Structures are given as structure tokens and as C-alpha cells.
Structure 1
């Protein structure tokens, strides 16, 4: 993939870009195989590769520049905006709407937030694209003072960019290196973005997590469903369930599935998507606390933790519990390896690398463990 921003040293986020894609994938395969070790019964399935460009279904753009000439991209070392509207890894449908969002910010008089001086209003523009081509747009603001101007100019934006279906303002008053705040203000009647993935349609709310690469996420859900069907459990826990992707994909007649997620926003998304699906329930809570407090042990547990992994408490519970099968979907093979060492009775029998983030060292790996 060719990137003018990388060549000009304006953005070097894709640190592996100079490597041929086949070499990138090979390196990730070797790293995962080394970390998981030589398990005697482990079968590695062919890697799920991504397209090399346009794979990101979301853009997280820092706003810089001025009201009249805002930049959407990143900040340089001095806190100045670097415009990356044509970033080639971002989906074409998102790139097409970024100029319209920049013009909207100008019309609404949204002053870009000046990080070094700690003044200004508009901090980030976050855009997510559904497989249907519909868009969710979130403006991250320092305060609610600009909300009347957003509402005033929003009808024109929706007329110019009809694929935008959900618009919100997120309020982040603090000066800190985070992407969003706790308060979300809906500016459109619709507040969820449908995310159809194969036979399942998820409903994404503004502050809910969803995988960044739709094609590879679809393959991941399909792989986990295949492994679960192979085991045919009657009861399943989906811990760190997010918006319910794994739970809804493994739902089946006669099977009871429980999804646990700390984010109440994500749980609301999961419940919305689960309407009419029998045998599936979701609850907001800490995954480890839920497991430790439970008197029941399911036939199979799916875990999809953040980069820190599941940790020694949950790994210890899985080791002691007697649960027969675990499907571990990891975005950090280093913490996956640490967690596997803490539950030696659960042996890896299937594993698959999924290249969710081409041109970067990040990699997803899914593993089926059996006692």
C-alpha cells in the first residue's frame, strides 16, 4: 500500500508499511506460534488476512488548525494539527464525508481545541461506518456551549451527507489524553447504528466498542461459532461480551448464553440486538467478579478481554472451575501467553491468527482450549 503521509513522515503510525504484506503476516504468525509454545495437540488454521487499504470502519480524527481551516488527523510533536483526511487505511465511505464534516465545523464556528494552550472547543471527530454504508458521527467537545450551533447547522449536514444516520456530541471537559468523555448528547432521533454481520445484526451505540476491521471481525465471529458448534455446549458464558457479537453468533436452540460486560452502554446495545433471540441474556458487571461469585459452571466460556488479558484471578478461576472448554479471543498475544500459563489444564487445540490491523504489529489470535 502506498501512503503519501508515511512517505512525507507526516504520519508513521503504520510502522510495518515498508514490509511486504506477506512478510508482515508471516512475522505475526511466527510471533503467535512462539508465544503459544509447542502444545502437542495444537492445530494452527490458515491466517485470516485483511485487505491492505480501506479496512478501518472507524476514523478517530484529532481536530487542529483554525475555525476556517480545520485539520482532521493527528497532532505533531508541537501540538499542531496534521491533516490526514485521505488516510488510505480508512474506509472510502468515511474519507468521502470528512471534507463535509470539516465544512460543518467551520459553519458551526467550532474552534479546534489547542492542546498546548488548553483552549478551544472541538477536540475530536469520530466516524464509524456500518457494512450498509451508514455512518455514525460523534463530535467530541470541551463543553456544551456549542450545542445550539451544532443543532442549528445539523440539517444542512444531513442533507449534504445523507449516509450520516446518527450524530452525537460527546463532552470531554478535562484536559487529558483520552478520546471521549462520559456524557453523550444525541443530536439525531436515531441513536444506534445497525451492524449486520452474516446472520447477526448488532446495534452499535455511540460509546460501545466494536472491532475496527469489519471483514476480519466477521471471520472471527464465524470461527468462534464453528468451534462452539463443534463442542455443542448447553451453557455458554461470553465474558467481556461488548455489544454481544460472540454471544449472539453462538446462540442456538436449547442453548443458554449469558453475556457479561462492564460497559452499561454496550450491554444496552447487546440487549437491543438480542430482541427475539431465545436463550440469550446480558448483564452489566465485571467479568471476573461475575465468575467468582457464580455457583454454576457453564460448559464453555468465551473471553474477549482488552489488551491486559483476563488476569490471574479469572485465569485461576477457569483453571479450578472444571469448565471443559474456553474460547479465548486475544488482541495481545503476550498477555494471552501469560494467561494460558495460569491455566495449564486447559490445553490449546485450535488456534487462528486474524490480521485485524495490517501495517502495524497488532494482531488478533483466537484459541480453542479444552480440558
Structure 2
């Protein structure tokens, strides 16, 4: 990159610098396009409000997450995460003008470096991950939900994936919600994605029989050769998903890690075993639809199936720290492998996000804004 995060610390404190930001131009209908977003030039002053606990960070890696699509549509009822606000909306973050932006930017959990800090737990130069904007600099008014990066032997981008929210989502969803046990039959949809690849490997480490679905023959091959799934299939080539699942699971499914919804969920329900569990992480096949596909939820009744949605934010704090140490150990020992694709530069962020919905990425999609 043209300028590194280390160079930022050397900038004069109080100086105003350009802050490129990604905004939503308009609410989205159907599949998002690059034209629905825009990279604009905002500005930031290298300072934090006097007496505050705010932290000013330089963003290094931006995370591309399918769930961001759900925030690009205006909803009549508020959700647990607010919709993005499109257009150039003037926002005053600090009345002392320590920080100024001309837009509400897209945001997600990213990897950053502390430039200036009013918080006792963070100092300039610290590396952390947490919710920041899709922009070069972000001011975090209260970094209570930020995590310091502890394992520097891995690429920093891993904290947007296997050591961050996707990894924690896989771990908590499989074990706390799905309650996977040795000897059980586990199915993972969107299995070659950021979350799915980790779910399958954790299930195998537990002693489960694991099958995944993906949208290309290349991804199916990765599932079986690189990630160690017992079997996998290309859902785009299956004329009958119910038959495909019966072929892979002649004895039925104990745990389903749900990432796609729609027709796949309907087929899975017909193949669940009694007392089976479904951990609902996401439903990416539904995000671009005006009217979601219907699903036969009556299957839950006769088979006593437990189907539970969950939010990864419920597993922060001490639970995350336990997960981080366990996952770091798996990575060091080679028991878990991880695949990511890195797009270069903030200008590449819109196309990288849109690519998720066309299945162009393999594994986790991340954008490098600046490299440490």
C-alpha cells in the first residue's frame, strides 16, 4: 500500500487528513451491485475528544460479510442491527471537531491499529479488532467491545475470520447451539465460506461424520481434500436436494449448521433425525429476495427438532478468549486450515462484497486497506 499504518503514528497530532470511506448510495432491491456503493473522500483530524475514552484507529483489514446485505434494505420494523443510512449524511461525532466525517459509512468487524487513545487499556500502536467503519480511519467512542490481538504469529487478517467473528460463530454455533457430539452426522451448507469451512473442521475434530454443500466443483473438491469433509456436493448440480441429502445421509442428519435457508433448509428438515438440532447462523439465499421462500416448519413437530437462531455477540468476553486460545492451538498444530481471499485497497471493497453473492470468493473475503 502507498502508506503503512506505522507511518500514521508519525503524522502530526491534530493534523486533518483525507479519510476515504465506503457509503451506501441508495437502498438495495435484489442483488447488490457495485453501483449501490460509493467510495468518497471524507476527512479526519488526528485527535480524540479531550477527557474522553475514545480511540482513533487506522483500519488495516476490512471484513466482507453476507449479513451486511440485510442492512442495505429499509425495513419497516427495526432489527437487532440498524439498517445502513444511504447518501452523504453529515455526522458530528464530536462537538470539539476532533473528528469529522461527511457520511455514514458501512461498518463491520475489522482489524485496526491504534493511532491515538484516551482509553487506559489501549495505547498508540496496539493492534485490535472490533466494529469500525469501512474507511481508512475510525473513531471508536467507547472501545469496550474491541479485542486486543494476542497472537501475532498469524496474519492480522485472520482476526476478520478464523480468529474473529466467523471463527467464534462456527465454534459457538456448532457446540453451544448445535451441541455436536462424537459419532453424530453433521451437515453444513455454504461450507466453503468463512464460517462453513471452520464448522466442518471442528466437527471432524469432534469425531463427527461431516458433509458440506457448495456452489462449484472447485469448492466441493476443497471441502473433501483441504478441509477434510467426509463428503460434499455441488448444490447447483443437484436436481433434487432431498435426494442428494438422502444419498449423503442414509441414516439422517443430527446437526445442521444453517447458512442458506430456502429450498436447502426445506430439504434438510425432511432428512433430520429425531431430536436433531439446527443452528441458524444465516440464510444467504434469502437476503436478495423480495419475499422469502417458504419452509415446511411442521417437520419440527413430529421429529422434536430443535431449531435455534443465535447471535455471536452473546459469546464475547471470557468465552471468546477461551475460543481464541483453542483455535490458535489448532492452527499452530495444523488441525485446522484456513482459506481467505484478500482484495487490495479500499476502492476494491464494494466489488469484494458484491462478489459474495455471486459465489466468486473461496473462504473468507477480506479487503486490505493498509498493511502492517
- TM value normalised by structure 1: 0.36
- TM value normalised by structure 2: 0.36
